[in-house]
Amino acid sequence: MKTKWITPRTEIETFIPNEYIAACWGVSCNWSDSNQYEIQNGYWDGGNVSHAADHCGLSSNQVIIDQNEDGTADYMEERGTDGLGTLRCIIYNDASYNTLRDISTVKPGNLIFWTTTAGGRTWHHRGKVYATVSGRPNMS
Protein backbone atom coordinates (compact mmCIF):
# COMPACT_ATOMS: atom_id res chain seq x y z
CA MET A 1 0.00 0.00 0.00
CA LYS A 2 1.34 3.36 -1.02
CA THR A 3 0.92 6.37 1.22
CA LYS A 4 0.66 9.93 0.06
CA TRP A 5 1.85 12.94 1.98
CA ILE A 6 -0.87 15.62 2.43
CA THR A 7 0.03 19.02 3.79
CA PRO A 8 -1.78 19.64 7.11
CA ARG A 9 -4.38 22.41 7.04
CA THR A 10 -7.00 23.92 9.32
CA GLU A 11 -10.63 24.24 8.35
CA ILE A 12 -13.04 26.46 10.24
CA GLU A 13 -16.79 25.94 10.10
CA THR A 14 -19.11 28.87 10.62
CA PHE A 15 -22.33 28.23 12.51
CA ILE A 16 -25.29 29.69 10.64
CA PRO A 17 -28.58 29.18 12.47
CA ASN A 18 -31.66 28.48 10.41
CA GLU A 19 -33.84 30.29 12.98
CA TYR A 20 -32.30 33.47 14.39
CA ILE A 21 -35.02 34.74 16.68
CA ALA A 22 -33.94 35.20 20.29
CA ALA A 23 -37.39 36.06 21.62
CA CYS A 24 -37.85 32.98 23.77
CA TRP A 25 -41.12 33.49 25.52
CA GLY A 26 -44.53 31.94 25.52
CA VAL A 27 -47.99 33.18 26.40
CA SER A 28 -51.34 31.50 26.74
CA CYS A 29 -54.67 33.24 26.99
CA ASN A 30 -56.15 33.32 30.48
CA TRP A 31 -59.35 32.04 28.91
CA SER A 32 -61.48 32.31 32.07
CA ASP A 33 -60.66 36.01 32.65
CA SER A 34 -60.99 36.69 28.92
CA ASN A 35 -64.47 35.13 28.85
CA GLN A 36 -65.46 37.36 31.78
CA TYR A 37 -64.18 40.39 29.84
CA GLU A 38 -66.26 39.43 26.79
CA ILE A 39 -69.41 39.00 28.93
CA GLN A 40 -68.93 42.20 30.95
CA ASN A 41 -68.25 44.32 27.88
CA GLY A 42 -71.03 42.99 25.66
CA TYR A 43 -68.85 41.01 23.23
CA TRP A 44 -69.96 37.50 24.35
CA ASP A 45 -72.59 37.19 21.57
CA GLY A 46 -74.23 34.14 23.10
CA GLY A 47 -70.89 32.33 23.34
CA ASN A 48 -69.83 33.03 19.74
CA VAL A 49 -66.93 35.08 21.12
CA SER A 50 -65.53 32.74 23.76
CA HIS A 51 -62.12 31.48 24.83
CA ALA A 52 -61.15 27.87 25.55
CA ALA A 53 -58.29 26.09 27.31
CA ASP A 54 -57.67 23.85 24.29
CA HIS A 55 -57.42 26.72 21.79
CA CYS A 56 -56.12 30.17 22.77
CA GLY A 57 -55.45 28.75 26.25
CA LEU A 58 -52.52 26.71 24.90
CA SER A 59 -49.22 28.57 24.83
CA SER A 60 -48.20 26.56 21.75
CA ASN A 61 -51.02 28.22 19.79
CA GLN A 62 -49.50 31.72 20.05
CA VAL A 63 -46.53 31.85 17.67
CA ILE A 64 -43.93 34.61 17.24
CA ILE A 65 -43.13 35.44 13.62
CA ASP A 66 -39.84 36.92 12.40
CA GLN A 67 -41.02 37.92 8.94
CA ASN A 68 -37.78 39.67 7.93
CA GLU A 69 -35.54 36.93 9.37
CA ASP A 70 -33.48 39.60 11.14
CA GLY A 71 -33.76 38.17 14.66
CA THR A 72 -36.52 40.57 15.72
CA ALA A 73 -40.07 39.49 16.45
CA ASP A 74 -42.39 41.19 13.94
CA TYR A 75 -45.78 39.92 15.09
CA MET A 76 -47.63 37.13 16.83
CA GLU A 77 -50.29 34.85 15.39
CA GLU A 78 -52.69 32.35 16.89
CA ARG A 79 -52.81 28.89 15.41
CA GLY A 80 -54.91 25.90 16.41
CA THR A 81 -58.12 27.90 16.44
CA ASP A 82 -61.52 26.25 16.38
CA GLY A 83 -61.76 26.06 12.58
CA LEU A 84 -60.85 29.73 11.99
CA GLY A 85 -57.38 29.18 10.56
CA THR A 86 -54.36 31.27 11.52
CA LEU A 87 -55.28 34.62 13.09
CA ARG A 88 -53.03 37.67 13.43
CA CYS A 89 -52.66 38.87 17.03
CA ILE A 90 -52.77 42.62 17.64
CA ILE A 91 -50.98 43.44 20.91
CA TYR A 92 -52.13 46.31 23.16
CA ASN A 93 -50.69 48.13 26.18
CA ASP A 94 -53.60 47.44 28.53
CA ALA A 95 -57.13 46.09 28.96
CA SER A 96 -58.65 49.13 27.24
CA TYR A 97 -57.44 47.60 23.93
CA ASN A 98 -56.91 51.13 22.56
CA THR A 99 -53.14 51.67 22.41
CA LEU A 100 -51.00 49.33 20.31
CA ARG A 101 -47.86 47.82 21.83
CA ASP A 102 -44.72 47.01 19.87
CA ILE A 103 -44.02 43.28 20.20
CA SER A 104 -40.30 44.03 20.67
CA THR A 105 -41.14 45.50 24.11
CA VAL A 106 -42.71 42.26 25.37
CA LYS A 107 -40.65 40.45 28.01
CA PRO A 108 -41.22 37.48 30.33
CA GLY A 109 -43.27 38.49 33.36
CA ASN A 110 -45.39 41.00 31.40
CA LEU A 111 -49.16 40.77 31.35
CA ILE A 112 -50.12 41.36 27.72
CA PHE A 113 -53.41 42.00 25.98
CA TRP A 114 -54.15 41.08 22.37
CA THR A 115 -57.05 40.67 19.99
CA THR A 116 -57.76 38.28 17.16
CA THR A 117 -60.49 38.81 14.55
CA ALA A 118 -62.35 36.47 12.20
CA GLY A 119 -65.77 36.49 10.55
CA GLY A 120 -66.70 39.92 11.91
CA ARG A 121 -65.96 38.81 15.50
CA THR A 122 -63.15 40.04 17.75
CA TRP A 123 -61.72 38.13 20.72
CA HIS A 124 -60.03 40.07 23.56
CA HIS A 125 -57.22 37.97 25.05
CA ARG A 126 -54.99 38.47 28.06
CA GLY A 127 -52.13 36.41 29.40
CA LYS A 128 -48.86 36.51 31.31
CA VAL A 129 -45.64 36.05 29.34
CA TYR A 130 -43.20 33.45 30.62
CA ALA A 131 -39.67 32.42 29.62
CA THR A 132 -39.76 29.17 27.64
CA VAL A 133 -36.52 27.94 29.22
CA SER A 134 -36.28 29.16 32.80
CA GLY A 135 -32.93 30.76 33.58
CA ARG A 136 -31.89 30.80 29.92
CA PRO A 137 -33.74 33.70 28.27
CA ASN A 138 -32.01 33.38 24.90
CA MET A 139 -32.60 29.68 24.38
CA SER A 140 -35.80 28.45 22.80
Round the average pLDDT of the chain to a whole number and report it.
Answer: 85
Contacts of 120 (CB under 8 A, 6+ apart): none
In this structure, are strands 111-118 and 75-78 parallel, antiparallel, or unpaired?
Answer: unpaired
Task: Report pLDDT for 19.
Answer: 45
- What is the model's pTM? 0.78
Q: For 10-53, how does the pLDDT look when each residue is reduced to its tens digit (9 = 90+)? A: 677 665 554 444 557 889 999 999 999 999 999 999 999 999 99
Residue 21: strand pairing partners: none
Q: Residue ranges of the alpha helices (H) in the chain?
A: 31-40
